Structure 1
Amino acid sequence: MKRMYFAISILVILLCGSLGLNIWLYNISYRQYIKTESLRFDPYELNNYPESPDIFKKDRLKSLVVFFGDSRAAAWPEIADISYDFANRGINGQTTNQVLQRLPAHVATLSPKVVVIQVGVNDLKNIVIFPDRAQSIVANCKQNIQQIVEKLTQELQTTVVITTIFPAGELSLLRRLYWTTEIDRSIIEVNQFIKSLKSDRIIILDAATILADERGVTRSEYSQDHLHLNAIGYTKLNNELEQILKSLVR
């Protein structure tokens, strides 16, 4: 009898675990479905930000810094007690092409002095889904980044602080199913390209070197999850960014 109760208990636990896993997977799939369907109406997500809010009028007293890019840019906090105003134009999940296409609406209208760019990982993580397109994904990522930088520096006469792509953090067993060493290799390749863009108006903030440990993985003390930083990680980057911004005031 005890064995039967034990077997029933194990079966109930397995069924509950299976139900919980299926609910979790359903929620993830549903959110992705909603995101995909919404992009049919607004593929570059231009409606996420107003075109020209009053707070960023051109008669402001301080120069404006804009954080621009994907979710990593969206989470980037302002630097306190510095002679700049800040605006954030990051959007979760965006690729380099989406960022490029929304630049006129989300950045040009603000007339910033400095634009801080973090973008690229959402392109490269698709390599696990389309391994046969790895080379073209990397090439397109580089091309889009170059066009973003050129539009900002040449057309808007803006100083660009472009960060190297943050390396991934520690991967959970589940996340390993959606990640490959080819993505890590591609991040390194694109980061080398980003460093090659350095010029008078293009400043490189080498986030990858600042954040990574000896294995090339973002240190656990800086990680919120495998892709995103916590407050300590952003503080580390802002220490470097603050010095860059102060040097531009001179």
Structure 2
Amino acid sequence: MTDWEMKVHNFMCLNKFVKKGEIVFTGSSLCELFPINEMLQNVEPRIRVYNRGIGGDVTDGLLERMDESIFDLEPKKVFINIGTNDISRPEYKRERLMSQYRKILMQICRRVSPETKTYVMSYYLVNCEMLPVAQTWSGEGQFGARTNAELEAVNAEVGKWQRSSGCAHAIRCVRLGLLDEKGNLKAEYTIEGMHMYANGYAVVLEKLMPYLLEE
């Protein structure tokens, strides 16, 4: 059993104990590493969030685990952060990523309650100047096409499709406060240019609170 399969199986087991009708976060490592439950204890402990992120996952993976990560929980809100690993792959094509994202959102629109709100989180930008650190930390040393220009282009495409479809809400404000004067992810917030420490996620949580609190 692969690490991905073990995590999906664990989600299936955990879902037997969840309180349905709460909030779900799903995506790749940028979601999995978000210590949102711990942070909420001192901010608003009444908010219950289930984190269904898997490090290294791509849109194909999320499409395979929609039941375990979303539908079995019957959430009132879904926050999605998936696709950055697709961009990092050598065979990356923006058109395919957008097609995958549409499949994800259309499945959610068809299968969740009409009252469920879906939020598409914009991709966090990166700090490519920290590439040598990324080589040491990740063992891969590749951002691939994961440049700030490409991330912003995809964010714009997702936002455009979301507005025309009307089946999800795009959240672009999460990038504010994370960037330095050059437009890169601040070095003090990131491990190796892509993944973030808890202080970076604290900025994200502050921006997300209105969406977590709204009825």
TM-score, normalised on structure 1? 0.69
Between structure 1 and structure 2, the one with the greater Rg is 1
Aligned counterpart for 1:95 among listed residues 42, 58, 68: 58
Partner of 2:170: 204
2 CA distance for matches of 1:225 and 1:164? 20
Structure with larger RCO (C-alpha < 8 A, sep 6+): 2
Higher helix share: 1
User: Are 1:148 and 2:104 counterparts?
Assistant: yes
How far apart are residue 112 of structure 1 and its match? 0.5
How far apart are residue 159 of structure 1 and its match? 0.9
1:106-145 aligned at under 5 Å gives the runs 106-126=69-89, 130=90, 133-134=91-92, 137-145=93-101
Q: Deviations over 1:41-68 (max 9, x none)?
A: 94x953242255343144xxxx411110
Query: What secondary structure is seen at the aligned counterpart in 2 of 1:224?
Result: coil
User: Are 1:167 and 2:125 counterparts?
Assistant: yes
Per the alignment, do residues 156 and 111 of structure 1 end up closer, same or farther by CA in structure 2, a change over 3 Å counting? same
Question: Any runs of at least 4 consecutive aligned residues in structure 1 with deviations exceeding 6 A, and if so which?
Answer: none
Fraction of identical pairs, as percent: 21
Cα RMSD for the two superposed structures:
2.6
How far apart are residue 173 of structure 1 and its match? 2.5
Partner of 2:209: 242
| Bigger mean CA offset, 209-218 vs 185-194 | 209-218
Q: Is the 8 A contact 1:114 1:159 kept in 2?
A: yes
How far apart are residue 236 of structure 1 and its match? 0.9
1 CA distance for matches of 2:154 and 2:206? 24
Q: Is the 8 A contact 1:69 1:90 kept in 2?
A: yes
Q: Is the 8 A contact 1:205 1:240 kept in 2?
A: no
Q: Is the 8 A contact 2:24 2:50 kept in 1?
A: yes
Per the alignment, do residues 210 and 203 of structure 1 end up closer, same or farther by CA in structure 2, a change over 3 Å counting? farther
Number of aligned residue pairs: give it. 198
TM-score, normalised on structure 2? 0.79
Aligned counterpart for 1:179 among listed residues 133, 143, 146: 143
Per the alignment, do residues 54 and 48 of structure 1 end up closer, same or farther by CA in structure 2, a change over 3 Å counting? closer
Unaligned 5+ residue runs, structure 2?
136-140
Unaligned 5+ residue runs, structure 1?
1-36
1 CA distance for matches of 2:118 and 2:30? 17
Q: For 1:186, give the aligned amino acid.
A: E
How far apart are residue 104 of structure 1 and its match? 1.7
